Amino acid sequence: MMLEHYAGLMFLAALVFIFSGYPVAFALAGAALAFVPVGIAVGAFDFNLLTALPQGVYSIMENYTLLAVPYFIFMGTMLERSGLAEDLLKTMGQLFGPMRGGLALSVVVVGTLLAAATGVVGATVVAMGLISLPVMMRYGYSRVLSTGVIAASGTLGQVIPPSVVLIVLADQIGVSVGDLFRGSLLPGVALATMYALYAGGVALVKPSAAPALPPEDRPANLPALLARVLLVMIPPLLLIIVVLGTIFAGIATPTEAGAFGALGATVLAAANRRLTLKALTDTMDATTRLTAMVMFILVGSRAFSLIFRGFYGDLWIEDMLTNLPGGEIGFLIVANLVVFGLGFFIDFFEIAFIVLPLLVPAAQVLDIDLVWFGVIIAMNLQTSFLTPPFGFSLFYLRGVTPASIHTYEIYRGVIPFIAIQIIGLTLVIVYPPLVNWLVP
C-alpha cells in the first residue's frame, strides 16, 4: 500500500471519530497516535517525528494573533450578558415598528451590530431568538419570516468584522487579520442590506406577514424615542468603529484592539449600571470555555497534521487539488463543496483546523488570492450553517423557539435567505474587487 493511502485512511479514521460524537480535539489526536505505530512499521517515519510536537504546541501558545480570540469573545459576551444587546433590540424595534416589516428590519440591523460585536453565531442567534421572536409573534408576524430573518441575521457573525471566525481563518490561511477584516466588510454589509431589502419586499407584497405595530403600541413621544435610540445605539457602535478603525489604520494590532474592545464593553456595562457580578462571571466563564475549546482543537489538529505529513498526505492532497479539471475554477468548486458539506456536521473551528491546512497549499500553487479565498470560505460556511436539515443556526434557533413553531416552518423561513447568500457568494467569486477594494 502506498504511503498516501495510509494518509487517506488516517483522515477517514479522524472523520469517523468526529461523527461518532467523540470530542474533536481528542478525535484528531487519537487518530494521529493510532497511526504512529503504522507509520513506523511501514517505514514512513520514525518515532523521533513526535519530538516536533512539543515545539508545535509551544508555537500555538506563543501565537500573538490567537490572543485576540478571547478578547473579542469577552467583548461580545459582555454586551450580551449585561443586557445592552437586549436594550438595543427593543429600542430599534420601537423605532422601526410603526412601519410594515419594521420589526424584521430591526432584527437585521441589530443582528448586524451584534455580529460585529460578538462574532459568534450561536450567541447572536440565541440572543435574538429569545428577545425578538416573542415580540414578532405577539404582533402577528409570519412565523416563517420571523424565524428566517432571525437565523439569517445571526449568521452574519461569520463574515462581519471583527469576527472570531475571521481571526482563526486568517491564522490558518496565513494572511493578516486586518486584511481579512477589510476584505469581508463590504460582502458582509451587502448581505445584511439584501436581507433588509427582502424583509421590506415581503412587507410590501404580503402586508399580513409583517404588519406595523398597532397605533396603541406605537411610541407617543418620537423625539424621546430618538434620543433613547442614540443613547443605546451610539456607544456600542462607537466601540465597534474604534476597534475596527484602529486595526484598519494600522494603529493597533487585532490583539491590542480586542483588548481595548473587551475593556470598552466592560466600561459600557458599568456606565449603564449593568456590570453585575453574575454578568462578569458568566462572561468570563463563556470566554474561557470557548477559548479552551479552540486551543484544544488546535493542539489536536497540530498532532494530526504532523503525522499526516509523515505519510506525505499534504503532498498527496495538494497534487490532487492542483490537477483537477478546470484549474482554479475546478479547485474552487471542489473546495466549496467540501467545506459546504462539512459545515452541516462540524463546527467552523474544526473545519478551519482540519480542512484549511489541506486546501491552502493548493490555493498557493494555483496563485489564488488568499484573502479573497478566505472570504469565500467564510461566506460558504455561513450558507451551510443555514441550510436544512443540519444547519447549526437552525439547531440554535430551534432550541429557543416555543413548541408551537414547527421545525418545517424554520426550514421554510431560511430558504429565501439561503438564496440571497448564494447570490452574494457568487458575486464575490465572480467579482473579486468586492473583497479587494479595501485591502492594500
- Identify which has the larger pLDDT, 393 or 422: 422
Residue 292 confidence (pLDDT): 84
Mean pLDDT of 216-238: 75
* Confidence band of 218 (pLDDT split at 50, 70, 90): low
- Residue 65's closest CA among 166, 164, 171? 171
- Each residue of 385-396: pLDDT tens digit? 788 766 777 877
Residue 343 has pLDDT above 70, yes or no: yes
Query: Residue 329: which pLDDT band, with cuts at 50, 70 and 90?
Result: confident
First to last CA, the chain: 48
Give the pLDDT confidence score for residue 420 in this predicted structure. Answer: 93
How many Å separate Cα 120 from the centre of its chain?
6
Give the range among 116-125, 299-308, 312-321 with minimum mean pLDDT: 116-125
| pLDDT band (50, 70, 90) for residue 1 | low
Which has the higher per-residue pLDDT, 186 or 41?
186
Q: For 259-317, give the DSSP string.
A: HHHHHHHHHHHHHTT---HHHHHHHHHHHHHHHHHHHHHHHHHHHHHHHHHHTTHHHHH
Q: How many CB atoms lie within 10 A of CB 314?
A: 18
The mean pLDDT value for 291-316 works out to: 80
**Which residues make Cβ contacts (< 8 Å) with residue 259, sequence separation at least 6?**
71
pLDDT at res. 38: 81
User: Residues 293-317: what's their mean pLDDT?
Assistant: 79
**Residue 45: which pLDDT band, with cuts at 50, 70 and 90?**
low
Q: What is the mean pLDDT of residues 143-147?
A: 89
Nearest to 71 by CA among 236, 223, 264: 264
Q: How confident is the model at residue 217 (pLDDT cuts 50, 70, 90)?
A: low
pTM for this prediction: 0.81
- In whole numbers, what is the pLDDT of the chain averaged over residues? 82
Residue 52 clears pLDDT 80, i.e. is over it: no
Report the share of the chain in percent with pLDDT over 70.
93
Q: Tell me, what's the pLDDT at 234? A: 81
Q: What mean pLDDT comes out for the span 117-134?
A: 72
Inter-residue contact 158 to 379 (CB < 8 Å): yes
pLDDT reported for residue 337: 87
